[in-house]
Chains A and B, each alone.
Chain A
C-alpha cells in the first residue's frame, strides 16, 4: 500500500465517528432512493405483469339489461381486441359466526367458454361446474378472513332470493387487487367478498337470462380509447348504459395509481434531503481536515507530490466515507424495500410479486450518493491542492473578526463574554451556521411531515364519521324502489330513524368539461347523512339546483350560478339542465347532490329510492341485523362503526410504521448534523477553550460556549423546521389529492411539538457526546502548539 493511502486509512480510523455519522445520513438517502424507486418499479411491474397475464380489461361499462346479441356489435367496434359481457350484482351475505350482514359482489363466469378478460387466478379448488346450483369461487382474502375451504358454504340474498353458496375454489382477479366494500374507506375482507358463479346461475337469480349488465373490453394497440368509449356508450344507451370508463376510473386500478404516485413523490423529496445534508456535512469536515493538515499538505507538496496527488488523497477519503454510506444504504434499502413490499402484499391482492431489484436502481442510488459526497468534498480537495507549499507550511492567519454595528456592540455589552464568543463564532461563519441550522431544521421538517398525518386523519375521521355521515348504517336496495320501501325499513325492529337517498348516474357537462358521476338525492333537511359547506358547517339542500363537491366543480370548471347539462344515464341519456347552487367540502369521490324531491321531478320514471341511511338502537343490533339479513330488497349494507374501526386499525398500523421510519431518519440527520458541527467546533476552538480552562474557567463554563452556540442553532432550527415541515406536508397533501380521496390539510400543534422534542433530544445527546470531550482537553499540549 502506498504511504499516502496508509495515511488515508489512519485518517478514516481517527475520524470514524464523524465519518460514520455522515455515512449514515448518506445511507438514508441511498436507502430511501432504493426503497422508493425499487418499490415503485416492483409494484408497477407486478401490476403490469398481472394485468397482461390475466387480460385485465381497458374499458368497463355497465347497463341495466343489455341483450347478449349486443356483444357481437360491441366486438365489432373498431379497435376492440376482446369483449366480455357478464352479470355483476351486489349481494347481502349471511355468514355463520357474523352477527352483522356482510356484502358481496356476484360476478358471472361464462358457462362453457373460458374467461377471455379479467381472468381469474385460481389459488385452490376448481371453477364452478355449469348447471350446478350454488357453486361459486370466492375471493382469496374473503375466504381467508372466514377460514373457508373448498366445500364450505355460506348464505346470501341476491335480488330478494335466498342463495346458498358452496365454495369450489378460491381465486384472485386483476379487477380486485384493491377491493373496497360499500361505504368502506379501507378494505375489510371479513365484510366484503367477491363471488364468481356461472352465468346461467347468476342469470337465473337476477332474471337476466340472455342478457348482461356489465361489459369489459381490451383494445388493439394504438386504438383511441375515447372513440371506443363513445361507440360503446352509443350501443349501450338504449339498455341503461351508464357511460363507459377506462382503467383510470376503475376503483382498484385507481388506488394502485395513487400509491404509485406517492412512491414517485417520495423519491423526489426524501432522498434529495439526505443527499443535500450529506454533501454539506462532508464539506464541513473536509474543510476542517484540510485546515488542520495545512502544514502536512505544504510538506507533501514540498516533497514533490503533485496537485493531483494531493487532491486525489482527499477525494479518496470522501470516497471511503461515501462508499461506506452506499453499502449501508444498499443493505437498509433492500431490507426496507422488502418490508414495504410485504406491507403492499398485505394491502393489495397480487397472486405473485415481482421484485425489481435491478442493478440499475442500485447503481443510480450509489451514483447519486457518491456524486453528492464528491460535490461536498471537492472544494476542500481542490483548495488543498492549490495551496502553494510555502504558504501551506506557514500557519494560517488568525481568524479575522470585524467590529460589529453599534447595535451589535451594545448587544455584546449586555452579554457575558462566553455568550459573546458563541454569538461571534456563529456570525463569523454565516454559511456554515446557516447550513447547520438548515440541516437540523430538515430533521424537524421530516418529522412534522410524518406526524401531521395524525392530525389530518383524525380531522378527516371527525368530519366524515361524526359530522357528515352520522348514520349507523346505509342499506342500499338491489333495485331502485318506490318511496314506500323506506317506511318498511323504518318499521324494522331497532331502527330509530331513517333517511332516504336516491342515486342516479349522470354525465355532467359544462363547457368543454364532462364527467360521469353519481348524483345523490337527499332530503332537504338532512339529519343523519349531512353535507358540509366549505367552512364545514352543515347545510340544508335548496329545493332545486345542484350542490357540487369542490373537486367536481373544479373538474367541470363550474361555479355557483353556472348551468350544468346532465344526461340521466339510466333513463336513456335524457338531458336536463340544472344550475349549481352551492359548492361543498368533501374528502371522497366526486360528489353531486340535489334535493331528493327535485331529483324525482327530473326523473322520467318518477320517485325512486336507492336506499336508506338508518339510525340504530345500539342495544338491539342483533335483532336489526337479523331483520336486514332477511330483507329481500337489500343489496348491501355499510356499517359506520365497523368501517371506522377497520379504517382506524389500518391507518394506525400504516402511520405507526411510517412514523417510526421517519423518526429514525430524522434522528440520523439530527445526529449527523449536530455531532459533526459540535466536533468541528471543538476542533476549531480547542485552543480557545483550553485558554479558558487556564484562565480558571471550569469545565462546565467552558462547555457553555459550545452549548450556547449549538442551542442557538437548535432554537432557530425549530421554527424553520416547522415552516419547512408545513410546506412538505402541504406538498404531501397535494400529492395525495385524487378523485378517490383527499386528505384535509391540518397540522396540529402537537406535530410541531413532538417533532421538536425528538430532534432536540437527539441533538442534545449528540452534543453531549462531544461536550464530554471538553473534559479530555489537554490544556498544556494545546497551548504549547502553534495555531
Chain B
C-alpha cells in the first residue's frame, strides 16, 4: 500500500503506440497513438467495446505482439525493439497471463498445469501454494475436463501467478463465466493484487468491474478516451453484476 500511496513507480510506460493490421486490401488501425502508464502494485481495468483496441494494447505490453510504431517500456526494458527471444524471456520472467478460454493443458492435472510454469521460473512459489491462493487446494489432482469453468479459470490464475510475476494481464477472465463464478475469479485476482502486490491489468466488457480498480482506462476506436483513478474501491462481493 505504501508504495502505491507514496511513490508511484511506472511499470509500463507507453508512448504514442500504434498498431495497423493489413487484412487483404484494407488497413485496420487497431491502435492510433496510445500513451499511458501503469504503476507498480496497481490494479487497472481496461474497458471498451469490441474492436476498441484493448486486447491489442494488452498483447503488445505483454510481449505477445509488436507495435507498428511508438514505444513500450517495461521499467528500463524497451519492448518496442525487442527480438522474439527477448520477448519470450520477458514473458517467461515478468508476465502472467489469464485468458477468457483458460487455455489449460488438458493432459496435465491442475497441479501439473501450475508446475509447468514453476519448472521454468527462477523464483516461483510452490504449485500447491498458488492453488491454495485461488482456493483450489482440494482439486489439485484433477484434470481440466473434470473441473467447472470457474475452477479452470482459477487454475489459469494460479498458473499465471505461481512464478511470482511482476505483472498479471487478464483478458476477459470472467467472459465465459456466470456472475457467481465470475465473482470467485475476481476475488482471486484482487486477493493476489492485495497480498502479493502484483501489478494487475484486467480487460473487460463488463463496466461494473472498474469499481475494483485503482485505475481505469477507457478505450474507443484505438485510443484511450478517458483515464480515471479511483480512491474508493469495492470488493468483488460488493459488485452488482
The answer to whether A783 and B112 touch across the interface, beta carbons within 8 angstroms, is no
From A787, which residue of chain B is reached at the shortest CB distance?
Answer: B101
Stretch at the interface among B68-76, B91-99, B219-227: B91-99
Q: A397 touching B145 by the CB < 8 A rule? A: yes
Judge if A405 is at the interface, Cβ distance under 8 Å: no
Is there contact, CB below 8 Å, between A398 and B89?
A: no
Measured CB to CB, the nearest residue on chain A to B116 is A417
Interface 1/0s, chain B 97-122, versus A by CB < 8 A? 10101011111110011011101100
When chains A and B are docked, how far (Å) is the Cα of A779 from the Cα of B88? 12
Chain B contacts of A397 at CB under 8 A?
145
Contacts of B115 in A (CB 8 A): 417
Q: Check B106 against A695 for contact (C-beta < 8 Å).
A: no
Q: Considering only CB atoms, which chain A residue lies closest to B96 in the complex?
A: A695
> B64 near A: Cβ within 8 Å?
yes
Q: Which residue of A lies closest to B163 (CB)?
A: A696
A400 at the B interface (CB under 8 A): yes
Given contacts A400-B143, A696-B120, contact A691 B108 (CB under 8 A): no
Give min CB distance, B197 to chain A, whole Å.
21
Q: Is A86 an interface residue (CB 8 A)?
A: no
Docked complex Cα distance between A646 and B131 (Å): 77
A324 to chain B, nearest CB (A): 31
Is A784 positioned at the interface, with any CB of B under 8 Å from its CB? yes
Which residues from B are CB-within-8-Å of A784? 55, 99
Which residues B125-159 have CB closer than 8 A to chain A?
A: 141, 143-146, 159
Q: Does A402 contact B (CB under 8 A)?
A: yes
Partner of A400, one of B55, B85, B95, B146: B146
Q: Hey, which chain B residues are within 8 Å of A537, CB to CB?
A: none
A688 to B112, CA, bound (A): 14
Question: Residues of B contacting A428 with CB < 8 Å?
Answer: 107
Segment among A54-62, A210-218, A419-427 that sits at the interface with chain B: A419-427
Residues of B within 8 A of A779 (CB): 64
Interface string of B60-89 (1 = CB under 8 A from A): 000011000000000000000000010011
Contact present for B107 and A697 (CB under 8 Å): no
Contact of A421 among B65, B88, B108 (CB under 8 A): B108
Contact yes or no, B64 A687, CB < 8 A: no
A677 to B174, CA, bound (A): 36
Q: Is A421 a contact partner of B107 (Cβ separation < 8 A)?
A: yes
* Contact indicator A694/B101 (Cβ below 8 Å): no
Contacts of A424 in B (CB 8 A): 107-108
- Whether, in the assembled complex, A619 has its beta carbon less than 8 Å from a beta carbon of chain B, the answer is no
Give chain A residues whose Cβ lies under 8 Å from the Cβ of B146: 400
By the criterion CB–CB under 8 Å, are B91 and A695 in contact?
yes
Q: Which chain B residue has the least Cβ–Cβ distance from A426?
A: B107
Q: Contact: A399 with B145, CB < 8 Å? A: yes
The count of residues in chain A whose C-beta lies closer than 8 Å to any C-beta of chain B is: 36
A226 to chain B, nearest CB (A): 70
C-alpha spacing A783/B172, complex, angstroms: 12
B91 contact from A401, A696, A701, A786, Cβ within 8 A: A696
Q: Does B59 contact A (CB under 8 A)?
A: yes
A69 contacts partner chain B, Cβ-Cβ < 8 Å: no
Nearest Cβ distance between residue A448 and chain B, in whole angstroms? 34
Q: Which of A402, A697, A780 contacts B143 (CB 8 A)?
A: A402
- Cβ < 8 Å to B, chain A residues 670-700: 687-688, 690-699
Contact indicator B92/A695 (Cβ below 8 Å) = yes
Q: Report the Cα distance A687→B64, complex, angstroms.
A: 15
Interface assignment of A265: CB less than 8 Å from any CB of chain B: no
Asked whether A786 lies within 8 Å of B59 as measured between CB atoms, the reply is: no
Please tell me if A96 contacts chain B, counting CB pairs below 8 Å: no
* Contact present for B103 and A694 (CB under 8 Å): yes
Cα A696 to Cα B85 with chains together (Å): 10
Bitwise interface map of B from 184 to 225 toward A, beta carbon under 8 Å scored 1, else 0: 000000000000000000000000000000000000000000
- A310 CB to closest chain B CB (Å) equals 28
CA distance A683 to B46 in the complex (A): 32
Distance (whole angstroms) from the CB of B172 to the closest CB of chain A? 10
**Cα separation A787 to B144 with both chains bound (whole Å):** 13
Chain A positions 394 through 411: 1 when the CB is less than 8 Å from some CB of chain B, otherwise 0:
000111111100000000
Partner of A420, one of B88, B108, B145: B108
Would you call the interface of chain A mostly helix, strand, loop, or mixed? helix
Q: Chain B nearest CB: distance from A777 CB in Å?
A: 11
A227 to B211, CA, bound (A): 110
Contact A403 B141, beta carbon cutoff 8 Å: yes
Q: How far is the CA of A400 from the CA of B143 in the complex (A)?
A: 8
Q: Judge if A758 is at the interface, Cβ distance under 8 Å.
A: no
Query: Across the interface, which residues of A come within 8 angstroms of B117, CB to CB?
Result: 695-696
Nearest residue, chain A, Cβ from B55: A784
Using a Cβ–Cβ cut-off of 8 Å, how many residues does chain B contribute to the interface with A?
Answer: 34
A785 to B113, CA, bound (A): 20
The answer for the CA separation of A695 and B156 in the assembled complex, in Å, is: 11
Q: Which residues of B contact A785 (CB under 8 A)?
A: 101
| Inter-chain contact A695/B97, CB cutoff 8 Å | yes
- Assuming the contacts A696-B93, A697-B120, asked whether A398 and B106 have C-beta atoms less than 8 A apart, the reply is yes
In the bound complex, residues from chain B placing their C-beta under 8 Å from that of A417 are 105, 108, 112-113, 115-116, 119
Complex contacts, A693 vs chain B, CB 8 Å: 88
Contact A691 B88 (CB under 8 A): no
Q: Mark B152-172, 1 if CB is under 8 A from A, else 0.
A: 000000010000000000000
Which residues of chain A have C-beta atoms less than 8 A from B108's C-beta?
A: 417, 420-421, 424
Nearest A residue (CB) for B94: A696
Question: Which residues of A have CB within 8 Å of B112?
Answer: 412, 417, 420
Name the one of A412, A416, A698, A780 contacting B88, with C-beta atoms under 8 angstroms: A698
Give the residue name and chain of the B residue nearest to A785 (CB): B101
| Chain A residues with CB under 8 A of B101 | 783, 785-787
List A411-444 residues whose CB lies under 8 Å from chain B. 412, 416-418, 420-421, 424-425, 428
Q: With contacts A417-B108, A424-B107, A424-B108 known, is A780 near B65, CB below 8 A?
A: yes
Q: Within the assembled complex, what's the spacing in Å between the Cα atoms of A787 and B104?
A: 11
Q: Determine which of A399, A692, A780, A787 lies in contact with B116 in the assembled complex, contact meaning CB atoms within 8 Å.
A: A692
Cross-chain contact A688 with B106 (CB below 8 angstroms): yes
Cross-chain contact B65 with A688 (CB below 8 angstroms): no
Cβ-defined partner of B107 (8 Å) among A420, A694, A695: A420
CB distance from B12 to the nearest CB of A (A): 17
- Interface set, chain A 138-183, CB cutoff 8 A to B: none
Which residue of chain A lies nearest to B89 when distances are taken between CB atoms in the complex? Answer: A696
Taking CB atoms, residues of chain B closer than 8 Å to A399 are: 106-107, 145
Contacts of B120 in A (CB 8 A): 695-697, 701
B105 in contact with A421 (CB, 8 Å): yes
In chain B, what residue has the closest Cβ to A696?
B92
Complex: chain A residue closest to B65, CB-CB: A780
CB distance from B144 to the nearest CB of A (A): 6
CA distance A417 to B162 in the complex (A): 15
CB-defined contacts of A695 to chain B, threshold 8 Å: 91-92, 97, 116-117, 120, 159
Whether the pair A780, B107 counts as a contact (CB closer than 8 A) is no
Question: How far is B120's CA from A701's CA once the two chains are assembled, in angstroms?
Answer: 10
CA distance A475 to B49 in the complex (A): 102
> Knowing A695-B116, A695-B117, A698-B85 touch, does A688 contact B145 (C-beta < 8 A)?
no
Among A403, A412, A687, A691, max chain B CB count under 10 A is at A691
A435 to B14, CA, bound (A): 53
Residues of A within 8 A of B64 (CB): 694, 779-780
Q: How close is A414's CB to chain B, nearest CB, in angstroms? A: 13
* Shortest Cβ distance from A689 into B: residue: B105
Whole-angstrom CA separation of A398 from B55 in the bound complex: 25
The answer to whether B85 touches A688, judged by C-beta atoms less than 8 angstroms apart, is no
Cα(A412)–Cα(B119), bound, Å: 14
Verify B106–A401 contact, CB threshold 8 A. Answer: yes
With A400-B143, A694-B97, A787-B101 given, can you name 5 additional A-B contacts, CB distance below 8 Å?
A: A398-B145, A688-B106, A695-B116, A696-B89, A784-B99
Seen from chain B, the residues whose Cβ lies within 8 Å of a Cβ on chain A are 55, 59, 64-65, 85, 88-89, 91-93, 95, 97, 99, 101, 103-109, 112-113, 115-117, 119-120, 141, 143-146, 159
7 pairs of residues in contact across A and B, judged by CB atoms under 8 Å: A417-B105, A417-B108, A428-B107, A688-B107, A691-B105, A696-B88, A697-B120
Q: Nearest 5 CB-CB pairs, A to B?
A: A696-B92, A424-B107, A691-B103, A417-B116, A696-B91
